[in-house]
Amino acid sequence: MSHANAALTPRQRLRLAKQIVDEGWSVAAAARFFRVSYPTATKWARRYVELGPEGMVDRSSRPHVHPNQTPRPVVKKIVHLRLRKRLGPVQIAGRLGLSASTVHAVLVRCRLNRLSHVDVRTGEPARRYEHDSPGALIHVDVKKLGNIPIGGGWRFVGRAQGDRNRAASDLNRRKGKNRDPLLGHAFVHTVIDDHSRVAYAEIHDDERATTAIGVLQRATSWFADRGVIVERVLSDNGSAYRSHAWRHACQELAITPKFIRPRRPQTNGKIERFHRTMADGWAYSKHYNSESARRAALPAWLHFYNHHRPHTAIGKLPPISRISNNLPGHYS
């Protein structure tokens, strides 16, 4: 970019070049008139002939050839060790006989200087995406949790007491005294909007297709009340989502079903990360005396997550802030 005292700004360069090329001025005369050197006037006239007015802007000063740059085969070895072995610059430099600063410069150039840019499981560069508008894509999945017996589970009361609570709850259930859910599992059916990260969840005792379809229908209605029209739904390849009933339900709702690549849960990573947040913030956040107490706490936590909890992926704002036409009285 031209500095404040430059003799030739892009506009002046264009005037100089036009006087030489279009009006027939000599290079020497134009150079004297604009008070620049002969080579400078020649350069801008040549640029004008080759590129036209667009050639009058400054170019990058980066050299075209880098004779001392790390050879490409060595770069490939550095990238391979970084991705597959997750080694740091010092370890890679020791293996390849290079300086750590050289290895670090290569990693920065390849955008691999931070391991957060690399997928932990596959060692491949993390591919991040986000749809432009709410409802363009929602993620669905099921989180399986063990039901809590009367008196609390082993995470808070210890393994021995937890086993005794479970045995006592099972005995009370057989006698008809236990009103809590069976001592099996709770299946939390979750729905996440890709753009806003707004979440919807329901707890059920199974993960069958009919249950998943009911959750999808209620979730799309819940989002519609907030002005969000769901267009696509992304799920894993579980039997409920691969069923004919799921496909027909999506057709009735005018939603396009999408599926992740087999053995690639990272594609559905937003909802996987939400499950971890939900487990830390709700499911295992405190001692619950029963499964009913934990299930009763879910709506309040979802409201906090959607309306009050800062989300680091969207600028530390609550997810509901990304739904522009959210209206008062629509809060859950």
Clarify whether residues 50 and 109 are in a common domain: no
Residue with the bigger pLDDT between 51 and 169: it is: 51
Range of 21's domain?
Answer: 10-56
Domain CATH code at residue 293: 3.30.420.10
Helix axes 10-21 and 27-34, enclosed angle (nearest 10): 150
Q: Which strands make up the sheet holding 185-193, listed edge to edge? A: 199-204, 185-193, 138-146, 232-235, 256-259
CB–CB of 59/2 below 8 Å? no
Clarify whether residues 90 and 219 are in a common domain: no
CA–CA gap between residue 25 and residue 29 (Å, rounded)? 7
Tracing tokens 């979730």 back to the chain, one arrives at: 219
Percentage of the chain beyond pLDDT 70 is 85
Clarify whether residues 52 and 106 are in a common domain: no
Q: Measured in whole angstroms, how far is the alpha carbon of residue 169 from the centre of its chain?
A: 42
Residue with the bigger pLDDT between 90 and 164: it is: 90
pLDDT at 139 over 90: yes
Clarify whether residues 40 and 93 are in a common domain: no
Clarify whether residues 215 and 281 are in a common domain: yes
Q: In sequence order, what are the residues at sequence separation of 6 or more whose Cβ sits closer than 8 angstroms to the Cβ of residue 314?
A: 196, 197, 321, 322
Mean pLDDT of 234-250: 94
Identify the band that residue 97 occupies on the pLDDT scale cut at 50, 70 and 90. Answer: very high
Residue with the bigger pLDDT between 141 and 114: it is: 141
Mean pLDDT of 103-118: 82
Residue 220 within any structural domain of the chain: yes
Model confidence pLDDT, tens digit, residues 307-327: 999 888 888 889 999 886 544
CB–CB of 81/56 below 8 Å? no
Identify the band that residue 328 occupies on the pLDDT scale cut at 50, 70 and 90. Answer: very low
Residue 29 within any structural domain of the chain: yes
The partner residues of 292 in beta bridges, in order of sequence, read none
pLDDT at 55 over 60: yes
* pLDDT reported for residue 327: 47
Clarify whether residues 269 and 306 are in a common domain: yes
Read out DSSP for 206-248? ---HHHHHHHHHHHHHHHHTTT----EEEE-S-HHHHSHHHHH
Clarify whether residues 14 and 77 are in a common domain: no
Residue 152 within any structural domain of the chain: no
Residue 327 within any structural domain of the chain: no
CA–CA gap between residue 111 and residue 126 (Å, rounded)? 11
Counting the structural domains of the chain, the total is: 3
Residue with the bigger pLDDT between 298 and 327: it is: 298
Clarify whether residues 190 and 280 are in a common domain: yes
DSSP state letter for 4: T
Nearest of 246, 239, 314, 242 to residue 274 by alpha carbon:
314
CA–CA gap between residue 244 and residue 249 (Å, rounded)? 9
pTM: 0.60
* pLDDT reported for residue 332: 42
Mean pLDDT of 110-139: 74
* pLDDT reported for residue 137: 94
* pLDDT reported for residue 180: 53
Clarify whether residues 259 and 206 are in a common domain: yes
